[in-house]
Structure 1
């Protein structure tokens, strides 16, 4: 999938930071990146997200911080009404804070040393998932800052948010330490629809020649292109999507492991156990025991 370069803060009254309250039936499924850092709090929605090379489920009350130029996307689940079988009308809502790191460092550098801020922005290039008390404090301040127009109080809240992040250890890295992307603003969109196709069809068999045709490429060309852009094979990507969904179902604790394996597109329980352990480091049963 092509990540589109987006100039988030261009044209704003103050280009150092900006806020947004997003309310729509579905979040944008466009894979993109931008020079601004992005804090996102999911008020109401669920689905799958990609941040760098991390593929995970997301749900309401999640708070992430995506560093500069880190590709990302939130893709909502398809939900149908049990009575009619038709797509349900829901509102997906998120609150976002965008911070331009270079300009922020330059401005704050006039008041104090910015070494810690620079280190934080560098670390955030892996994507951060906040938890615990820090998440609770950040989301409250994010709710406040989104309501305000640009001004003195809004700037104070920005500094308070940054201070909370800088001195907290209550977060997990999302993307792997060695992740770098090879996308550019002019990168073509040959596999843009492949991500969506996998998200919507991972429960069944996905043939490589099928997705290659969708992107108008030969199997060999598609595999090479996909690996060069994502740093993983297409098979690895599909398996990560399936394992991510299986983790969600295991947490729900409504189905047996065997049912989950076939529901997520695996053709055998042994294959599911093998792939799950290679990605998560434990077997599905061990994972279930850990979360319980």
Structure 2
């Protein structure tokens, strides 16, 4: 999946920040990145998201913060595409350099700059901080002028005075995508998202990408910083975690529903990916 460079504030060059509210049948953006930082609150939807090299499922009531030039996408499952208004979200975008330049006229912005640097791994909020930021973002959507700017500063104050967030991408992650990337990776990602429950062989995806198997493996690893097999397994494990969270079916059934051909292989890959076994994961949820 190629990350397309996007100009979020195009047409709003004089604005330091903008808010947007989205209500669509499904999220339709490509894997992309932009200079602007982005808060995203998922009001209603579920599926899979990629932020940097992080791949996981997402559900309603999720709040994330994406740093500058960090590739990302939210992808709805194919079976959800016929549901009207299945994808609803609120977002805040701001140009970090322009914001820092403006705020530095009033106070020391070093702490804020440090946070923005950390956000280049992507953040997901939880606990009281998530609820506080969500409430502020909701108010910003319906505000204008000075009240909206005051809410922006309040949001930053809350964010800087709490550590109720987790990093998404791995330490040291960098955006390795280049402008000449075409749609090869985009097609492969969507093919895996829609077919992870079936057998996906390397020859099949290489043909979709119109490449030899060897060339495709090298291309995929260079762009995503992981092997194709590792990516497929991460998609399957993320779905397994979703099903375990929903308490659907026995673990053995979940393994086969997610595309694994044996329970032992599922247990092994689950532990490698999550650090614990599926049973231990389920027990942690029950505590």
The TM-score with structure 1 as length reference comes to 0.95
Unaligned runs of 5+ in 2: none
Q: Tell me, yes or no, if structure 1 residue 41 matches structure 2 residue 68.
A: no
Counterpart in 1 of 2:166?
172
Partners of 1:291 and 1:10 in 2: CA distance = 44
- Structure 1: gaps spanning 5 or more residues: 81-85
8 Å contact kept, 1:5–1:184: no
Tell me the equivalent position of 1:9.
Answer: 9
Q: Alpha carbons of 1:190 and 1:254: their partners in 2 closer, same or farther (altered >3 Å)?
A: closer
Aligned equivalents of 2:83, 2:28: Cα separation in 1:
17
User: After the TM superposition, which of the residue ranges 218-227 and 177-186 deviates more from structure 2?
Assistant: 177-186
Deviation at 1:90, TM superposition (A): 3.7
Pick the aligned partner of 2:219 from 222, 225, 228. 225
Give runs of aligned pairs for residues 161-240 of structure 1, distance below 5 A.
161-240=155-234
State the Cα distance separating 1:143 from its structure 2 match: 0.7
Q: Residue 27 of structure 2 contacts residue 76 of structure 2 at CA under 8 Å; is this kept in 1?
A: yes
Q: Which residue of 1 aligns with 2:63?
A: 63
Structure 2 residue aligned with 1:76: 76
The CA deviation at 1:15 is 2.7
Q: Give how far 1:13 is off.
A: 5.9
Could you tell me whether the CA contact under 8 Å between 2:24 and 2:84 is conserved in 1?
A: no
Quick one: distance in 2 between partners of 1:254 and 1:51?
27
1:120 corresponds to which residue?
115
Distance 1:276 1:120, change over 3 A: same
Q: In the aligned structure 2, how far is the partner of 1:192 from the partner of 1:6?
A: 16
**Residue 2 of structure 1: how far off its partner (Å):** 0.3
Alignment check: 8 A CA contact 1:26 1:91 kept? yes
2:177 alignment partner, SS class: coil
- The equivalent position to 2:243 in structure 1, one of 249, 253, 260, is 249
- 2:267 aligned residue: 273
TM-score scaled by length of structure 2? 0.97
The aligned residue for residue 142 of structure 1 is: 137
Q: Shift in Å at residue 168 of structure 1?
A: 1.2
**Cα distance in 1 for residues equivalent to 2:15 and 2:53:** 29
Aligned pairs (5 A) from 1:87-106: 87-106=82-101
After alignment, is 36-45 or 13-22 more displaced? Answer: 13-22
Residue 106 (structure 2) aligned to one of 99, 104, 111: 111
Q: How does 1:146-165 map to 2 (within 5 A)?
A: 146-149=141-144, 151-165=145-159
> C-alpha distance in 2, partners of 1:261/1:9?
43
Matched-pair contact (CA < 8 Å) for 2:34–2:70: yes
In 1, distance between residues paired with 2:162 and 2:83? 39
Residue of 124, 127, 131 corresponding to 1:132: 127
Aligned residue pairs, count:
286
